[in-house]
Amino acid sequence: MKVEIELTPVSSTAETLELAQIVDQSGADRLGISDVVLFRDVYTTMAICAEHTHRVMIGPLVTNPYLRHPVSVAASFATLNEISNKRMFLGIGVGSGISQLGYVKSKPAEVLEEFILTFKALLNGNSAAFSGNYFSVGDLGLPKDIVGEVPIIVGSRSERVCKMAGRLADEVVVGTREISDHALSKYVSWIHGASDEVGRSHNDVTISPRVTVCISKDRDIALKSVVLYTAHYSTLGDYDESIMEKWRYDSIKRSASLASGWYFQPDVTYPDDLNELVGPELIDLFTIAGTPSECLEKFRSLKEMGFGSVSMNIAAIRRPGTSIYSGTKETLMGLKGIMPDILAI
């Protein structure tokens, strides 16, 4: 199984680099750096990680087409590719946190398609002359000594964006909330259907479920560490009676709305009743959390669903008085211990 590991840069840059080096040493195929508005800058972080790692591919999960023009992004990636010895990938989607800046994510599939076409032309060494509804570019080209293909990975939960990715992307990271064959099969159907329409083989576009991973030898602390995450994602969509009772859904949604921040932020707090409302069965449906051996079995279940790759969002083990850095490192070290078995799946 191919493995992508995503780190959110909420620790110091030096600490994030140390965590990135653990990912590099673990044998994972790709390292993703979260691109979140007002967090540590993803491009600077990627450059530092590229210079101080050796084998893992590196890219943003995910950057967006609204804050950055495809020409400037192409120039940045050409430079990063030079720094990393051609180890970059572009992870792109509608982005996280940009609505608070007043941006409206209008027609994301169409905007992303124009962005990707322009980006690919430039990195492939071709003229980017392009006139679309959202981007217009003159007869431009990057210096020949820094052009080179960069794989494109689209992250999305949207049907239209997934279909666009099925036509153009090298890989799609599907942000499913529920980890089940029922939930994941619709994404596969959208992506493969779009690939068929343009004559692409299903093998031309890899599909990776995005899962949140939290690992500790202490199973209870691992589960408790993802209570807020589970609360958020189990109530993000419309009520589904197959997942939980309506009273529980309403109670979780209400208490989760009172959290002091996002689930991955340091020192986030939330109402105590969530620890009772969000039980092990619900956590198991929305995360891969627990002991190393328990998590390994869940990765094997993804393979049984037909997936040969996985994108992991790393959740920190949260203990009173410990930092988000040390908690993230605990999960990564637990993951590193079972990584040979995951890669062999």
The pLDDT assigned to 137 comes to 86
Mean pLDDT of 188-195: 98
The proportion of the chain whose per-residue pLDDT surpasses 70, expressed as a percent, equals 100
Give 277's pLDDT tier (boundaries 50, 70, 90): very high
CA 1 to each of CA 153, 300, 340: distance values in angstroms, whole numbers, following the listed order: 17, 9, 10
Report angle CA 323, 329, 334 to the nearest 5 degrees: 135
**12 pLDDT higher than 70:** yes
**151 pLDDT higher than 70:** yes
Structure token digits, residue 244: 């939980």
Query: What domains, with CATH codes, occur in the chain?
Result: 2-214+287-343 (3.20.20.30), 227-286 (no CATH)
d(CA 223, CA 228): 10
Mean pLDDT of 156-183: 94
d(CA 228, CA 278): 8
The pLDDT assigned to 38 comes to 84
d(CA 162, CA 112): 11
**DSSP-assigned states of every residue in 47-98:** HHHHHT-SS-EEEEE-B-TTTS-HHHHHHHHHHHHHHHTS-B-EEESS-BSG
**Cα torsion through 249, 252, 257, 263, rounded to 10:** -120
Residue (of 65, 314, 247) closest to 168 by Cα position: 65
Q: What is the pLDDT of residues 46-74, one digit of tens each?
A: 999 999 999 999 999 999 999 989 999 99
Q: What is the pLDDT of residues 115-144, one digit of tens each?
A: 999 999 999 987 767 789 999 888 888 999
Mean pLDDT of 205-223: 98
Mean pLDDT of 89-101: 85
Q: Determine which of 91-105, 123-137, 161-175, 205-219 has the lowest per-residue pLDDT on average.
A: 91-105
d(CA 324, CA 319): 9
Give 322's pLDDT tier (boundaries 50, 70, 90): very high
Give 205's pLDDT tier (boundaries 50, 70, 90): very high
